Amino acid sequence: MTCAKPGCRSILICTFCILLLFINTTLAQQTNELIISEIMADPTPAKGLPEKEYLELYNRSGKALNLNQFVLGYNNSTVSFPDFIIQPKEYVIVTNRNNVSEFQAIGRTVGLSSFSLLNTGTTLTLKTNSNRTVFSVTYTSKWYSTGKTQGFSLEMIDTEFACVETGNWVSSEAVLQGTPGKENSVKASRPDLTPPVLQRYEYLNNQQIKLVFNEKLDSLSAVSQLAYTVDKSVQIKSIVTESPANTSVTLTFQSDLQTKTSYTLTARNVADCSGNVLKEASLQVGIVSEADSGDVVLNEILFNPGSGGEDFVEIYNRSNKFISLKNWALANADNTGTVGNIKPITLTNYVLMPGQFLVLTRNASVISSQYYKTIASHILEMESLPAFANEKGTVVLLNQLRKVLDRFDYSETMHHGLIDNKAGVSLEKSDYNLPSSLPSNWHSAAASDGYATPGYANSQYKSAAESNTFMIEPEVFTPDGDGSDDVAQLKFQLTQTGFVANLYVFDANGRMLKQLAQNQILGVNDQIVWDGKSYNNELAPVGYYIILAELFNTNGEKLEFKAKVVLGAKY
């Protein structure tokens, strides 16, 4: 069939243009092409913006999109978008249709028939009409910057890595406390270059476990039959990711795991949503057992955090059992012993591994930022903690039946007597095999560990040393920055806790070159380093030096050590 008439040709051209527009506005539905880039969940008090909740959509693709192809999921509800074209690289405001007139002067706005956001956080999804997830984000109130919560929006920092959640969202820096319909005020390059971490597993039943990773996974690599193996001839029947979060994978085995047996699970070549690949990681897994009294104990508590800090309680699994913490709790107790202010630890089958230290706190990122040795994978966030007064109080550990497993009555007077500012200093148990009720079993954490040891062995854990020793390694050090023997390590091994150190460096003529420590609280196995520099921060001359260590405690005991170290140079 041909069309020679001008009118007919015009009709064909128009039809072609309509088809082209249809294609350009319907086929661009790849993952993370249309994203949510800003969330205003708590708009009160406002500072120039409408005092209404809103989201911001951003079209990352090079094609126009008709929003009528998408469904927004929020608070376990869904709502369809109306007919509305969002252009390539365009930002669009989303709000309740009753609020559209208030936002139109700010930017292009689409109204929804129903729409509400939770202040504390929820999962938001963008799905196609065929129920395929295009974008998801699970926001939380913990993402807000300090002092910028109510009235501030949460903005995505790097839209090029839109699938990244933790660390990629923060409070708006705009004067109006939000940037609806515009480029985000916090926009910056923050590429995700780190592979995912296999953090832990949750016990589901004797034939199923759930692996938990620290970030969103690539859904294809996460369900590969080659991605996971288990020793002792355990065969995997099926692998399923948990959508839309994609941070966990459920493994179903061909047969039941055996009781009182530890298995090694290995994950290989699992990629995150940004394409970074976890080459290999292993995890011990097993069937959970009931905890007996004394299996899990209180091990450390920070009840008086420093500025901007958070309380935490650390527990320790003394047994060889895999123990589920589901429905366990922390609580307080009054003078009569009555337990109250009960706060659940977790509602999931979180497994506490044999010999594992676990920190319980409200905000894991704060703990990690304030204590540099923190093991982040050994932190479990709770919605809230019991009240821990700065002067004195109680912490009680309860199992799922609300049986008291351990209790500690703490007081700030239990801290080392020479600590003037106790804020940010934890109390550690020196021997987790001794009762928590024994006051002499608790001591201030060592200064060398930053005054707390969240997620790992206590700095004041009871020493097996039979005598007090002091040594320097290496005996000859060369502080030239080549990464080999750049510092002298001054190592102490002490038979008891509570010692405080003063350390001095003297040259060969007996002149004091530098004081390395002044009233520094030591752990029972501790070290202080000398980088070869003097008081004026200049490198000392090549030669030998004398280290004098003076130790004392509040019981009046004194120790003194002297040792020689050589500061050398490579020629």
SS3 assignment, position 512: strand
Q: Where are the domains of the chain?
A: 34-171, 198-285, 296-449, 469-567
CA nearest to 357, candidates 480, 457, 473: 457
Predicted pLDDT at 496: 85
- Computed on alpha carbons and rounded to an integer, the radius of gyration of the chain in Å comes to 30
Same fold, 34-171 and 469-567: yes
Of 414, 417, 461, the C-alpha closest to 297 is 461
Write the pLDDT tens digit of every residue in 70-94: 999 999 899 999 999 999 999 999 9
- Check pLDDT > 50 for residue 1: no
pLDDT tens string 11-43: 444 444 444 444 444 444 578 999 999 999 999
197 falls in which pLDDT band (50, 70, 90)? very high
Q: Which two tokens stand for residue 497?
A: 């806790």
Task: Say which CATH topology domain 469-567 has.
Answer: Immunoglobulin-like (2.60.40)
Note the CATH number of domain 198-285: 2.60.40.1220
Mean residue pLDDT across the chain: 91
Query: What class has domain 296-449?
Result: mainly beta
d(CA 505, CA 543): 12
Residue 541: how many CA atoms within 13 Å on its side-chain side? 5
Q: Say which amino acid occupies 509.
A: N
pLDDT digits (tens, 9 = 90+) for 502-553: 999 999 888 899 999 988 989 888 999 999 999 889 999 999 999 999 998 8
Which tokens in the block code for residue 386?
A: 């019991």
Q: 391 CB contacts (<8 Å, ≥6 apart)?
A: 411, 412
Chain-centroid distance of CA 361 in Å reads 11
Secondary-structure percent of the chain, ordered helix, strand, coil, rounded to 5: 10, 40, 50
Q: What does the pLDDT look like over 157-174, one tens digit per residue?
A: 999 999 999 999 999 999
Q: Which residues of 478-515 are buried (b: 16+ CB within 10 A; e: fewer)?
A: bbeeeeebeebebebbbebbbbbbebbbebeeeeebbe
CATH code at 34-171: 2.60.40.1260
Helices and strands in the chain, H and E counts: 4, 39
pTM for the structure as a whole: 0.76
